[in-house]
Each structure stands twice: as structure tokens, then as C-alpha cells.
Structure 1
Amino acid sequence: MMVMSMRAAVMGSKFALAIFIAHYLDLSSLGVYGLATGAIAIVPVSVNIGMNHLLMRTAVNAGLQDLVHSLWQYWSFVSAIYILLLAIAAVSAVVFGVASIWILLVAVIYLEHVGNDVFYLLSNRQHHLAANLIAFVRGAAWIAIYMPLAIAFPDMRTLSCLFAAWLMGGVVSMMLFAWLCRSWPWKAFAGRFRMSFVIDTVRKSYLFYVSDLSFVASQYIDRYLVTLFLGIKAAGIYFLFWTVANATTTFLGLVLQQKQRPLLIQAFARGGLPAHRQLAWRFMQISAVATLALSVAITSAFQVALPWLGQAALSGHLPVLWLIVTGMAVRYMADFGAMALFSSHEDRLMTITNVVSVIALVCAQLVLLPTAGLHGAGAAILLTSTGVLVWRYWSLFGSAARSRSDANPDTAASLGA
């Protein structure tokens, strides 16, 4: 119950923050915030070169000593890149007069990068309470402090103050991680950094890197294309509606996929492809029902509360809201297919579907945005996600009936318990 409450708080806080910006700032500021959060998602994927997925997958069964040693090598490499990015941002602010908010943004991105690693690390190690407690501090606690202060003190209603508060939340979450895992053999962090470890890991994880870049681009490139074709205010409208839809998928990711991922990995390791397919089929059905119910509930509640925002431009775009929500729901189910491919070691197929997905999305956006505006943005998500969903599920279950009939029905059931 406590874990569920923290997951709901994270989802609700991020949703509330977008509402807060739309109400107390303006849609243009919300558009800038949306572009910044896109960067917070894209940059870590670009920096980690796919290594995180390989390390987190092996973390399920790795010994602590080996795990900590691998983390030291990986985080040392990542930290060096962010130090360079921070130096570039600082020099740009001094020499070229670039807004200092970019320094804050780079620091936030770094802590979000490590924070996401920590979340998946602890989740895969079955430490769900610790993972979600740290995620709560990083994704909800600072928002709960910042928003009342910004309401009371109007001078704090700026993106600079918001990112500063976000940075403090990241710092506190990392301190909490250090305390909760203080019994781990951290002396390995005193060891020498070996670039050979990074090179060897990158060679093994290049497919993850290509897949991750494609996946994150398919998730976030649309807001940049909306800004390019329709302007920053339209991007604010789009991001707000995207946030409503994303609230559903984020919550389901925390509630369902966090537990499903390690169970699917274990099912494949213990029972092979038949046990994995059987468990994936059951998880897929659960995910579909939950996605439909939660999407309708959250979107209906938002539509009822929409007049309170005081943004008249939003009321004329309700069909866009439902179109985006539908597209995001289909995308979530397609993403479940990607997770099932990943957990069954179908890395190449997962990568190919991710690459095709982002190419198809960009092409659809380039055609539909100039002709259909925000409706085109939602339609592009729906069309491309539907195609990828069909492709992945056919790959997973197209020939699964025979395999499931041959499998022991008790194997998957025991793994999913």
C-alpha cells in the first residue's frame, strides 16, 4: 500500500506541476518547460550509450561486489560527460550571455540520469520500497514544497526557481540512496577506472543504444516538431494534453511494468521462450484493461476541471485531447511489446521496431502537422503506435499458441505470483 501511494504521488505531482504552470504562468512557459523535460529524457539516453540496460538486466542476478564495481565504472564515465556539459553551459553563460537556467538544467539532467538508474537498479534487485521512496523524493516531494511556496510568493513563479527546486529534490534523493544502501560494498568505488570496461560494455550494448535513441525520440520529438510548425503556445497546449495522457502510462509503468520486467526476465531464464510467452500474454491482457480504464478516468476528470485553468484556448481543442490520449494508450501497449522483446533477449528485433517507429512518427508528423495542426500531432501518434503494436505482438504471439500448449501451465503462473 505504501509503495502504491508513493507511485500515485509521483504521478499526481508531475501532473499537478503541469497544471500549475498552465494556470499561474502561461501556455508559452508550459511549452518551454515541455521542451526542457524532453531534453531531460533525451540527453541521458544519448550519454549512457546503452550501457544502463545491459547493467540493469544483469543486476537481477549479479553479486553485490560485481554490481558495485560495474556501477563505479559506468557512473564514472557518465559523470565525466556531465562535468564537460556543465563546463560548456557555464562558459556559454559567461562568454555568450546564454541564460544561466541552462546550467541548472544540465545539473538536473545529471541527477535525473543517475536517479533513473537507481530506480531500475533497485527495482530489478526487488527492493521496490527503496526504489519508490527515492523516486518519491525526486519526483514528488520537491514539487509539494515548491508549488505552495510559489503560490504564496509570486516571485518564485519562474522556470529558474522551478529548476532550482527540482535540483534540490535530486540532491536529497541521491543522499537517501546513499543512506539506504550504505551496507553495500562501496569500497569498490575506490578502485581504478578502466576505460576498457566501458568499451567492452558499449560493444555489447550498441543495439540497446540505437534502440534507446529511437525509443526516446519517438516519445519526445513530437513536441519539438509541434513547436517548429505551430509555435511555442501550441506546444504548451500539446504538452498539457500529452501530460494528461502520460499520467496514465507513467502510473501503469510504475505499478505494472516495474514488477513485470524482472518477472519476465526470470521466466525466460528459467522456462525458456514458452514460459516467457505465456506470462507475457497474461501481463498483456492485464495491461490492456488497466490502460483503457485509467485513460478514460483521468481524461474525463481533467476535462471536467479544465475551465478552472482559465485558459480559453484549451476548451476548443478537446477532440485533440482525446486523440492524444488514445494514441498514447496504444503507444503504451506497444511499449509493453518492446519490454517483452527485451526480456526475451530479442534485442535486434526490439531495436529495429524502435528505429522504424521513430522514422514513421517523424514522417507522419511532417505530413500531418502542416495540414491538420494539433489534430495531426495526435493522429500521427495513433497511426504509428498502432502499426508498431501489431508488428511487435505478431512477433511475440503470432506463433505462440503451439508453444503455450506445449508449456507447463504452472510455470508461468508461479513466476507471476
Structure 2
Amino acid sequence: MLKSLLTPLTNMGLRGFGLVGRFALSFFLIKYLGTTQTGQFGLIVGVAGILPALYGFGMNYFLGREVIKSEISDAFAHIRDKFLIISSLLILTFVGALIFNFFHEISALGNLYIASLVIFLEVISFDMHIMLVNLRKPLLANVLVVIRSASWVFPFIGLSYFYPEFRTLDVLLNFWLAALLINFAMVWLFTRDWPWRSTLKRPIDFQWIKKTVQTSGLIYLSDLGLVVYSYFDRFFLAAKLGLAAAGVYTFFWTMANALLVLIGVAVVQVSLPTLVDAFSESKAAWRTKFRQLMTKAVLGSAVLSGLMYVGVLFIMPFLNNPELSHHPLIFPVMLFSVIVKIAADMTHFGLYSANKDKTLAIINISGIFVNTLLTFVFVSHFGLIGSALSMMGTAFYLLFSRGYFLLRNMNTPRIQT
């Protein structure tokens, strides 16, 4: 029993440590580097979050399934082909950006040379994380997440605290870059007995690439819908209201998103196998289990959101940043939006367990347009608080649209597959 709990508890502990690092970094950035550099950092994180979906073409959805079922040599060949595609597109993008920067400076990401390298390695690491999980290496995958996302934070904070001349975004990016290089060294160290060299000798499977991309259309658009919901707001804010506004948004979003991650790891993600098992058993069992899990997720997120709100209010006076107090409603609206989003995620898994893949994809795709429209309207009319209102509106849309089809499914005499 204890052995079976060790891996999930270790994974949760690792994710918890990563969140502590992100909290500490957010507080330090907003206090010592200011809202403008915090905004630049938020945009770099946003670009690194969008590009895996934009250049992934939905391939991970099918690649993950193939990796699980294939021989390791075949799996590695397909992983290599996927990495070649995304690496080539990233290189073309960054070369184009650097050429453009030569004629017209791009200041939104700070030092574009360092930022481009960090983003490139972060995107490749994200794909590698998914593949390691599919290759049944979840513990290694989560250790690597902590290395590249949190291990460098406390050394950077310590150095910058005692030596103010290091309190710059460039120094931060160099620490992040060093952690990413260590991340890849760790991958090689723990997988050096895997068939890396023999895989490189195999020809590129263009037929597999073409077939996978052609069959991934809805999944690709669905992936884009999910990342647009997560990251579009900060880019529109930066363009409309400036980097300082994006910095305020990034600070509060990091706090609110931590709630989403915690409940996601503890309740939402682990509910999928339970729902799938209940679906195969009977409709009544599926319905009962779904209601229990939904209640657990919503109540848990409501309690944690209250604690988080009180904690951030307590810490804010010590941050000595008056811009944060100029927007008192953003954080509570964001927290409420996350609670709604968690409920929407549960309906997502409810539909997934009922094999409603096409319905889910269409809803996620439509979410692109809903989020874009709401962000444009609310930010244009209400300013920074409009970003939080957009989050809330999109979360309600996802909840009601998924919930509508889920209720139809629950109320039919037989669950349709």
C-alpha cells in the first residue's frame, strides 16, 4: 500500500515545490524588478506556453498513444521525427525574429537573444516531458520539471537579494537557461542506455508525419483553443495597456493558476481513470462517481481560493508595489474564475470518459473565438479588470457548453459511444 502511494505522493511533492518556487519568484519580481520586467517575464512564459501547441499540430495526442504501444526503437523514431519538425519551425521563427529585431527592436521580451534560446529549450523540454510520461517515466519527468522551473529560482533570488546589481531580467534568464541545460544533461544521464544513436540512423518517416498531421486537425485546433484561453490575455494587455499592466496581470495570474494546478493534480487529473472505469461499469455508477468528484473539486478549490486570497492580502503590503493595490478586484475575480474553470475541467473529463472526443474538440475550438472576443471587449472597455472578467466569461462558457452535452449524455437511456 505504502509503495503504491510513494510515486503519486512524490510527484505531488515535486509539483508543490515547483509552485513554491513560482510563488517566491513572483513576489521577488514584483517587489524588486517592478511590473514592467515582470510583464516581460510573463510574455516569455506565454510564448513558451503557446509554441508547443502552435507547432505541435496535434501530433502529441496520437504520438503518445503510439509510444505506449510501440517497441522502443519505433517509438524513438517517431519522437525524433516530431522533434525535428518543432525544432525546425522554432529555429525559423527565432531567426526571423532576430532579423526583424535588427531593423526594429523587439523590447517586449527583454534580451531577445537569451529569451529565444530559453524559449527554444523550454518548448523542447515540454515535448520531452510528455514523451517521458508516455514512456512510463513520470517520476523522472516531474523531477525535470522542478529542475527547469524551480531549481534556479532560489539561487537567483539569493544572489539578487544580496547583490542588487543582479536584479535584472537578463540575469534571471541566464539562471533559467542554466537550469534548462542541466535538465538536458539529466535526460541524457538517466536515458543513456536507450537507443538514441541507432534511432538517428533511421530514415525520417515522412509518411507517418503526413498521416498524423492530416488526422490531427480537430485536435490541433482544440489544443490551440486551450492555450489561447491560458495566454492570450497577457499579450493583448501588453499591446493595449503596456508591459506594466501585463506585469500586474502576470503576478495575480500566477497566484490564481497555482490553485488550478493544485486541484488539477490532487483531484481533476486523477479522476479520469475512475470515470473511465465507472463508464465501462454502468451509467448509474458513472453518474454517481462524476457527481462525487465534481463536488470534491469545487469545494476543495473554494476552500483553497479563500486561503490563497487571505494569504496574498497579508503579503501584499510587504511587496511595496502600489500598482497592485490599484486593482483590488482582479485577484478575487481570477480566483472565482479558476473555481469555475475547475468545474469546467471536470465536465471535460466527464465527456472524455463518455468518448465524446469530437464534442470536446469543437467546444475547445469555439473557446478560441469566445476568449478572443471577450478579452477584446472587456479589456477595451474596463481596462485591466477586463482580463479577469474575460477569464470568468470564458470559464462559464466552457462549463455551460460542456455541461449541456454532458447532461444530455447523462439523461439518455444509454450512454452513446
Quickly say closer, same or farther: Cα 1:177–1:283, change in 2 above 3 A: farther
1:10-42 CA-partner distances (Å, limit 9, x unpaired): 112122212111011111111222122111111
Structure 2 regions of 5+ residues with no counterpart? 1-8
350-359 vs 52-61, which moves further: 52-61
- The secondary structure found in structure 1 opposite 2:194 is coil
Aligned match for 1:230, one of 227, 238, 241: 241
TM score, norm. by length of structure 2: 0.86
d(CA) in 2 for partners of 1:142, 1:79: 25
84-93 vs 353-362, which moves further: 84-93
Alignment check: 8 A CA contact 1:53 1:208 kept? yes
Quickly say closer, same or farther: Cα 1:265–1:61, change in 2 above 3 A: farther
| Corresponding residue of 1:390 | 400
CA RMSD of aligned residues (A): 2.9
| Corresponding residue of 1:87 | 95
d(CA) in 2 for partners of 1:369, 1:382: 13
Matched, 1:329 2:339: yes
Alignment check: 8 A CA contact 1:273 1:344 kept? no
Deviation at residue 359 of structure 1 after TM alignment: 1.4
Alignment check: 8 A CA contact 1:119 1:131 kept? yes
d(CA) in 2 for partners of 1:94, 1:362: 31
For 2:245, the aligned partner's letter is A
Aligned match for 2:202, one of 170, 191, 202: 191
d(CA) in 2 for partners of 1:26, 1:225: 20
Matched, 1:381 2:391: yes
| Corresponding residue of 2:214 | 203
| Corresponding residue of 1:138 | 148
Alignment check: 8 A CA contact 1:85 1:106 kept? no
Alignment check: 8 A CA contact 1:9 1:140 kept? yes
Aligned match for 1:3, one of 1, 6, 11: 11
Quickly say closer, same or farther: Cα 1:93–1:381, change in 2 above 3 A: closer
Deviation at residue 327 of structure 1 after TM alignment: 1.1
Matched, 1:74 2:75: no
- The secondary structure found in structure 2 opposite 1:317 is coil
Deviation at residue 295 of structure 1 after TM alignment: 1.9
Alignment check: 8 A CA contact 1:89 1:103 kept? no
- The secondary structure found in structure 2 opposite 1:26 is helix
d(CA) in 1 for partners of 2:284, 2:121: 39
What percentage of residue pairs aligned between the two structures are identical? 25
1:274-310 CA-partner distances (Å, limit 9, x unpaired): 8776655554333223322222222221111110110
Quickly say closer, same or farther: Cα 1:86–1:370, change in 2 above 3 A: closer
The equivalences for 1:123-272 within 5 A come to 123-186=133-196, 187-261=198-272, 263=273, 267=277
1:84-136 CA-partner distances (Å, limit 9, x unpaired): 23433444555666678222222222222222223333334543322211111
1:34-77 CA-partner distances (Å, limit 9, x unpaired): 12211111122111111112212444444433322221111122
Matched, 1:50 2:58: yes
The equivalences for 1:271-310 within 5 A come to 280-310=290-320
Deviation at residue 325 of structure 1 after TM alignment: 1.4
d(CA) in 1 for partners of 2:387, 2:105: 34
365-374 vs 234-243, which moves further: 365-374
Quickly say closer, same or farther: Cα 1:273–1:71, change in 2 above 3 A: farther
For 1:384, the aligned partner's letter is T
- The secondary structure found in structure 2 opposite 1:5 is helix
Structure 1 regions of 5+ residues with no counterpart? 407-417
d(CA) in 1 for partners of 2:46, 2:35: 16
Alignment check: 8 A CA contact 1:274 1:403 kept? no
d(CA) in 1 for partners of 2:72, 2:295: 35
